[in-house]
Chains A and B, each alone.
Chain A
């Protein structure tokens, strides 16, 4: 029998060592594409098609991707794409907040006629395949003149950002005791002021977390901008792939460098909101 086991100290056993080894292997396996991308981004054009791990690394690819020379060489305006992504992702999040915060409050506080159906419809945007709506959207966008415009991208990204923000914030509002607002109502505040002055400040962490998460998802979206932005105004996700086949030439090293640059903002955001990510990713599961 084990006499005393201090908490936090595990005794060595073949089973746990085996489990640890498996974890390390899985980790290496799943991170390998990223490692490969990092290596590729440091290779020169001569080395880009080799599969060697040993080569002379060069930082030139990053500079090329972001410079005029890159545009001349490949025809891809990557800096412009970064700006487009920033504008459309930020715009999409802000628009979703403006609509989603009041919507989440209403959904969290009252059951009204059709409230369940509305919430389910919003949620269904998340699990319906994007390709299902993309063809009609393409036609509509062409007719409305929204094709290849920032406004059009912001609008279509609502399918990504709005469900996240509404569902995450609803659970925040539900977790907040209703009595707080009721006390304010009894003090003579109107419902609107109780919402603005009592409820809203308390869900600020939720607003921040859901907004950042929605930003990541909007930034990473590929299918909508691929179809709905044409040649002139692509987002980074689309622009990255253009390095692969410009004028009959493939720039694998530049693609890797661009992909790494494009991955930075979501990575930084994800690290900053790590604490809230689990709740955000399991949104809707917290409370039905």
Chain B
């Protein structure tokens, strides 16, 4: 799962970041550390997503790889070649900018040829025609960027990045300017193209769905560091800390205060009951309990399984599944979250229906009940 696809062509190169830092210093202002020590090893042909909220340093990291931002300290390697101090034009990376960066006075054809001309390529015409054919933009070649829809602009921008056939492709928020329908289609296309051409690809995004669907592995970033790097499954099922648990997943994870029960292996949540946990945190420790709505199981009355008793507040029926927002017994709803929103959400299987006011018992498998330090948010394993 973590390995790159075997079909990666020889052109693909690995991309390595070693202890990468970026600190902005402006006169009269506190120095601002945007990126503080990023280590990342991307396999040849792999697609990695940098996921995080705005201001987490993901775009700065991308720009340092491209050479558009100077590196304060650390190293960038493409294959075995250190490119840290090379100008952008000599790094051989393709960038898909968020704003597309198509040159308005030139036609699409000229836009695509522009980069090849800089390198004095001989076969400019055929190469432009070939990439246009592959991305199905041949009809657009004689138009100006102003005449294109945002979906078409995105394709042209992608073609512009790909036409030089760079071993490393960097995409900054590639889908953010598209409407919902196009987003899904372009997402699929991106994935297919990336597989086919085998570029080592970094996608910067704040949208977890984009990261989950596109990436072989994703790096969740916050505060200029990578909080967790792994496959989407690893990140979803085994979050490194509370930030990752909270940031990834829709609807977001339930977080409530609790205490590790005597003897360990279970955690007591106020007057609502207990849940089993795989954590080996010491008995009596005050913790924050994280349980994903998808991992909640409704338990029948009279079952011997440890569970939380709750009352259904709101039930939303969404065809493939339902979402029940419940109030835990013995918890003041506004404080129940203990840092998260003051609610507990349970995802129910399709077909099931719950009435408001109905009592329910919520259970979970031990490996799905994550414990976090209430102060630092660290995962207690």
Contact = CB atoms under 8 A, between A and B. Distances in A.
B181 to A, nearest CB: 26
B97 A187 contact: no
Contact of A179 (B90, B94, B101, B115): B101
B88 A185 contact: yes
A113 B164 contact: no
A192 B12 CA distance: 31
B118 A179 contact: no
Contact of B88 (A113, A186, A198): A186
Interface centre among A113, A180, A183, A202 (most CB of B within 10 A): A183
Main secondary structure of the interface of B (DSSP, over half): loop
Interface in A132-187: 177, 179-180, 182-187
Given A183-B160, A187-B114, A113 B27 contact: yes
Interface string B79-105: 000000001111101110111110111
A198 B67 CA distance: 19
A182 B99 CA distance: 12
A113 B28 CA distance: 11
Nearest to B163: A187
B93 A186 contact: yes
Contacts of B89: 185-190
B134 interface: no
Contacts of A182: 66, 68, 88, 95, 97, 101
A184 B101 CA distance: 9
Contacts of A185: 67-68, 87-89
Interface string A192-215: 000000100110000000000000
Contact of A201 (B67, B101, B105, B114): B105
A84 B91 CA distance: 54
A183 B115 CA distance: 8
A180 B101 contact: yes
A188 to B, nearest CB: 4
A188 B119 contact: yes
A188 B114 CA distance: 10
A201 to B, nearest CB: 6
A271 interface: no
B101 A111 contact: no
Interface residues of B, number: 27
B26 interface: yes
A180 B91 CA distance: 18
Contacts of A202: 104-105
A35 B114 CA distance: 56
A99 B141 CA distance: 38
Nearest to B117: A187
A187 B118 contact: yes
Contact of A186 (B27, B66, B98, B104): B66
B164 A187 contact: yes
A105 B100 CA distance: 22
A198 B103 contact: yes
Contacts of A188: 89-90, 115, 118-119
Interface string B126-164: 000000000000000000000000000000000010001
Contacts of B68: 182, 185-186
Interface centre among B66, B89, B90, B164 (most CB of A within 10 A): B89
A187 B115 CA distance: 5
A183 B26 contact: no
Contacts of A113: 27
Contacts of B115: 183, 186-188
Interface string B50-75: 00000000000000001110000000
A111 B26 CA distance: 9
A115 to B, nearest CB: 10
A182 to B, nearest CB: 5
A184 B97 contact: no
A179 B114 contact: no
A113 B356 CA distance: 64
Contact of A183 (B27, B90, B95, B104): B95
Contacts of B100: 179
B96 to A, nearest CB: 10
A182 B160 CA distance: 13
Contacts of B90: 188
A111 B103 CA distance: 25
Contacts of A180: 101, 103
Given A179-B101, A180-B103, A186 B94 contact: yes
Contact of B118 (A111, A177, A189, A201): A189
A23 to B, nearest CB: 39
Nearest to A114: B27
Nearest to A183: B101
Contacts of B67: 185-186
Contacts of A189: 89, 118
A95 to B, nearest CB: 28
B155 to A, nearest CB: 16
Interface centre among A113, A184, A201 (most CB of B within 10 A): A184
A113 to B, nearest CB: 7
A189 B93 CA distance: 14
Interface centre among A179, A180, A182, A187 (most CB of B within 10 A): A187
A90 B336 CA distance: 75
A165 B306 CA distance: 76
A111 B94 CA distance: 27
A277 B249 CA distance: 53
9 contacts: A179-B99, A182-B68, A182-B97, A184-B118, A186-B66, A186-B89, A188-B90, A188-B118, A188-B119
Given A186-B88, A186-B91, 5 more contacts: A179-B100, A182-B97, A183-B97, A188-B115, A201-B105
Interface of A: 111, 113, 177, 179-180, 182-190, 198, 201-202
What 10 A-B pairs come out closest when comparing CB atoms? A187-B115, A188-B89, A179-B101, A188-B118, A183-B101, A179-B97, A187-B118, A185-B88, A186-B88, A189-B118
Interface of B: 26-27, 66-68, 87-91, 93-95, 97-101, 103-105, 114-115, 118-119, 160, 164
